[in-house]
Amino acid sequence: MRCRRCGGKAVVAVRRHNAAFCKECFLTYFRVQVERAVREHRMFGPKDRVAVAVSGGKDSLALWDVLAELGQASVGVHLDLGIGEYSRRSRKVVEEFAMARGLPLEVVDIEGEFGFGIPEAARGPRPACSVCGLTKRYALNRVAREKGFTVLATGHNMDDEAATLLGNVLRWEGEYLARQGPVLEAGPGFVKRVKPLWRLSEMETAAYAFLRGIEYVVEECPLVSGNTQLKAKEALALLEDFSPGTKQSFLAAFLERGKPAFRATPVYLAPCSRCGEPTTGEVCAFCRARSGILARRERARAGA
């Protein structure tokens, strides 16, 4: 296999482009894809203050690394979810990554901040990933806004986006479809969110992390079972294997032709009566979930 750009020995094959690259040319290809996504979708400019959500997995660390390589200043934000050894290892990996590269990092201890960890939340009626996702969105937005960041970048890749899109299409979630895309613009109380890796597959971010010598958490979160997005990913992987490029064209066609057909219903936001974060109701979804978790704890104590 020869590199498409320089003719040298290829080490990474990108089937959907019918191409293969040597190490240096693959790293260049990766950076170009990120630059293109940032430029085409006007993700951020020189005046923006960019926060990168870093979990310790390959995607978010690859994103933080490539932004630094491209000369984009950013601050990492890591949420310690309190999921035992998994969270301890994730935090350590992120802290070591930041220290080795001299990159600034903010760590938020979810349990210390909100009074519960994700394992406790997972014992309730909602699936773990649902409460965890809600907590992460809430905490990241709040931290980013309070610290004065204008953009929050996340490491969602093409596989994540295609799986989310498939899930939304299967249920015809019009509101979610109207909002899905590489950029979610800022709103009152909400920081702009961007996904600079959306043009790159999971295999490509893994290859990038490997070739850049990035150490990341390989183990899966112990609470992942029941995550429906994983099933959507498996289904798409079957189609991709049969016809390389399926995920990319599914996403690209949606952004070009599908998404404009969906309009988000205008919402009227007011501060949550408990925490002050923007919400459509009186009490925000996070505060309601948090109250449920704390009430369950009290009941268990009283019954013990």
Task: List residues binding Zn ion (CB under 5 A).
Answer: 272, 274-275, 277, 284, 287
Strand partners, 108: 79
Residues contacting residue 218 through CB under 8 Å, at least 6 positions apart: none
Q: Where are the beta strands (DSSP E) in 50-201?
A: 50-53, 74-80, 105-109, 151-153, 183-184, 192-194
Between the alpha carbon of residue 250 and those of residues 13, 45, 181, 182, 256, the distances in Å are: 21, 28, 12, 14, 10
Cα 14 from Cα 49, distance rounded (Å): 33
The residue from 110, 223, 287, 293 that contacts ligand SF4 (CB under 6 A) is: 223
Q: Which does 221 bind (CB under 5 to 8 A by kind): ligand SF4, Zn ion, none?
A: ligand SF4
By CB under 6 A, residue 140 contacts ligand SF4:
no
Under the binding rule (CB under 6 A), the answer on residue 60 touching ligand SF4 is no
Q: Say how far apart CA 210 and CA 214 lie, in whole Å.
A: 6
Q: Number of residues in contact with ligand SF4, rule: CB under 6 A?
A: 10
Nearer to ligand SF4, 219 or 241 (CB): 219
Which residue in 20, 43, 162, 221 binds ligand SF4 (CB under 6 A)?
221
Q: Residue holding tokens 């960041």?
A: 149
Q: Is 224 in the site for ligand SF4 (CB under 6 A)?
A: yes
CB 227, min distance to ligand SF4, A: 6
Smallest gap, in angstroms, from Cβ of residue 220 to ligand SF4? 7
Strands 12-14 and 19-21: antiparallel
Site membership for ligand SF4, residue 118 (CB under 6 A): yes
Residues in the site for ligand SF4, rule: CB under 6 A? 81, 118, 128-129, 132-133, 221, 223-224, 227
